[in-house]
Amino acid sequence: MVKLNSRYTVKYLTCILPIAVSSSNFSPLAVAFQFPGRKGATKTTTTTATATINEQLFLSDVPLVFIPGLKGTHLSYLKDERAEESFKKKKNLFNAKDMFTTSTRARMRTRTRTTRNNNGDGRPGPTKRRTWLTLSSLLNVPSLPNDHRDRSLALPLTYDANGVQDRGHLFPDGVIEHVIQLGKKGKNNNGNKSILSVELFPFYGHVIKHLEELDATYKSSIARDDANGVENNVGMEISQDTTACISPNHHHHHHHGRPTAIFPYDWRRSISELSNEFDDFCEMTFPGQPVQVLAHSMGGLISYGAMRKNPDKYKPGGVFVGVPFGTGIQYLQDMHRGYFPLNNRCQQFTPRDQFTFSSHWIFLPTDKDDVGDSFVDVSDEIGVKFEAEKSSIGKPPRDATLQSTIKGEDIEIDFHNVQDWERLELGIFHPKQLKDLGEETLGLCRNHMKVQLDEAKQWRDTILNDLTGSELPDFPSLVLCATDSIPTVNQILRRKRQMEDNETNIEDRVWNRLSLKLSIDLPSADLEEDGRGSHEYDYINGRSVPGDGRIDFDKAFPYNNVPYKGVRLNSAHAKQMCLEDTGMLKL
């Protein structure tokens, strides 16, 4: 298995050109598969960049389609009520042809939260606003309740006559290029306060830019040849020298061009539904033409499902990066505690809202054996380090040392049984969440969970099972990339809730928190902290294994008999598609 530095990940993964190889000596990043399309000599253009450097242009007519991971697509809504009603009656907001053929850059060009679409007749269209992802929504400025329709990411808990979950008012609106990161740097002039730093983290920005450059190079070359009356006889070529392909210098003086497309999608929907949409997107964008796939995280599961359904469409193969083929306990933190980025400033991923989603149930263990000792109660254990209710999502490990398995009592749970969630007071069944839910909403939640948990398990049992003898010879070749250098916690600890020292006098603590700003007598009921639950959880100090901080290394590869070639990375999960692992744009 090859080790690839994150600095060069994007360019290597997006410059892959399919080729039929008979030799075993080829780059593990080259998807080796006979492409059944147009044949011909490679189109190579040599120009002189300097007196000593020759630049070559390699073109391929094999399309490359990129699909991002969970939370990697903006979600927007329409302010115009009539337009919104029209949208709710459609499967997609825009006419499919218009939506799929518009360039990615054009769809994402606007950086502001509000845009206006044109109807095509010169009149301005309905106002479009983004709910995810903008700085104002992350910081909740102006302040809105978490369940406000302009802010909430929740899906409806209702289903249509065909058993498909209703879509609500949000729609996919381009892939996220950058996200805001808040940090601390240095001290102020007095030396007693840290200065807040704001950084732009290039989430998918690097890969989007590079894909657009590949596409523009391809189209301009084809257009130039057409204008000069040159036959467009584009073929496929890639070096078969493994050392040269892995060397960073190999691509420095070569340019590549190929048609590309980027698939934005509503990452809240079910995996099976999104797999069908992805397959439709690829066929509509490149009708009758096999495509190659570049996928990150959950996007790999979506595209893998499409490959099982329609392998001929994806015969050039795929490159998957950080894909959770295996299940794990990690996502329970999102579902139970919630996910609150920007130092808890963003409240858009509360347990209540996340329980309305349909996609992330696919990450959970499928049976009790799959859970194993990843979920343990340490209430009776002595000397166990325990940090209650602190988030580990998106935070680097404290050190590079792997943590040993923590001994405790295995917690019996079937994550695909709604009653077990309720029995253990997890997620929306925690007392803190229940007090805000009516019985009608709770009933809808139970039904939604059952539908989606059953569907997720069935999808894993069918799509991720072994390939049949007839499937194996024609299944698309895969290159799977995963990180093994970051300690990744894959064990959650639980204990009975303990009273802290400053909880001994609740009345004093509440009074201190109010900073003496109130001069009224508080009813005793208001002084009691109800809804805290009988247990508390630690997401930091359990066992850790090699991974990318989010996904275990060994869980990033399928357990079935599908053949693949592996590549090791060294970057965190959210930075696997970046040119620079630590590169930031300072604001």
In this predicted model, what pLDDT tens digit does every residue of 369-408 receive, in sequence order? 889 999 999 999 999 999 999 988 877 787 789 999 999 9
- The two tokens of residue 193 are 């306060």
Which amino acid is present at 396? P
Mean pLDDT across 549-573:
93
Bridge partners, residue 262, by sequence: 66
Q: What is the per-residue pLDDT for 189?
A: 62
Q: What is the per-residue pLDDT for 164?
A: 94
> How does pLDDT run across 250-261, given as a tens digit for each residue?
444 457 889 999
Mean pLDDT across 437-449:
93
HSE-CB for 177 with a 13 A CA cutoff: 16
Q: How far is CA 309 from CA 95, 303, 487, in A?
A: 25, 10, 35
Mean pLDDT across 518-537:
52
The residue to which tokens 């349909």 are assigned: 358
Whole-number average pLDDT of the chain: 76
437 phi/psi in degrees, rounded to 5: -105, 135
Question: Using 50, 70 and 90 to split pLDDT, how confident is the model at 530?
Answer: low
For the chain, the structural domain boundaries read: 332-463+487-503+533-545, 504-531
Q: How far apart are CA 360 and CA 259, in angstroms?
A: 31
Which amino acid is present at 125? G
Which of the 8 DSSP states describes residue 75?
E
* Contact criterion met (CB below 8 Å) for 36 and 20: no
Question: Using 50, 70 and 90 to split pLDDT, how confident is the model at 552?
Answer: very high
Q: What is the per-residue pLDDT for 223?
A: 86
H or E stretch at 21: none
> How does pLDDT run across 36-64, given as a tens digit for each residue?
233 333 343 333 333 333 456 778 899 99
Q: Which of 395, 383, 277 is nearest to 339 (CA)?
A: 395
Q: How far apart are CA 404 and CA 378, in angstroms?
A: 14
* Contact criterion met (CB below 8 Å) for 235 and 43: yes
Task: Name the region of 140 (left: φ>0; alpha: ψ -120 to 50; beta: rest).
Answer: left
Which amino acid is present at 367? D
81 phi/psi in degrees, rounded to 5: -65, -40
Max intra-chain CA distance, the chain:
88
- 14: Cβ contacts below 8 Å, ≥ 6 apart: 64, 66, 207, 210, 211, 214, 260, 294
